[in-house]
Amino acid sequence: MREDIQYDMMAAVFANTQAVFTDPTREGIPASPNKLTWSQLYIKEVVNSPRCAKSHREAMSRNPDYARDYAMMCLLVNVGRCNTTLACERP
């Protein structure tokens, strides 16, 4: 049950379309949209992280669904709700 609630909450957070977060890479650039959704911001930060493997960066740029799912897993790992060994398991 907890897994279902956790996934539903993460899916809702990443599905939110309100662009309210400031894009730190676009601040100060005139006539540039500098607001992102949570999903866009978090995915951008994961992709630009030095800890993100090149293979994951490439997969995230090719497949938006993979990018969202990988970012959701990264967030769960970062807040300690998912053991990192679970990241390699397949259903």
Q: Tell me: the pLDDT tens digits for 37-60? A: 999 999 998 898 888 889 989 999
Does position 23 have pLDDT exceeding 50, yes or no?
Answer: yes
Q: In the block, which residue shows the tokens 């676009």?
A: 26
Residue 80: the pLDDT is: 64
- Output the six-digit token pair for 76: 């769960």
Domain that holds residue 39: 2-88
Does position 14 have pLDDT exceeding 90, yes or no?
Answer: yes
27 burial via Cβ count (<10 Å: 0-12, 13-18, 19+): exposed
Q: In which band, very low, low, confident or very high, does the pLDDT at 26 lie, cut at 50, 70 and 90?
A: confident
Q: In which band, very low, low, confident or very high, does the pLDDT at 91 lie, cut at 50, 70 and 90?
A: very low
Give me the numbers of helices (H) and strands (E) for the chain, helices first please.
4, 2
- Output the six-digit token pair for 21: 């977060």
Share of the chain above pLDDT 90, in %: 29
Number of domains in the chain: 1
Angle at 48 between CA 71 and CA 19, to 5 degrees: 60
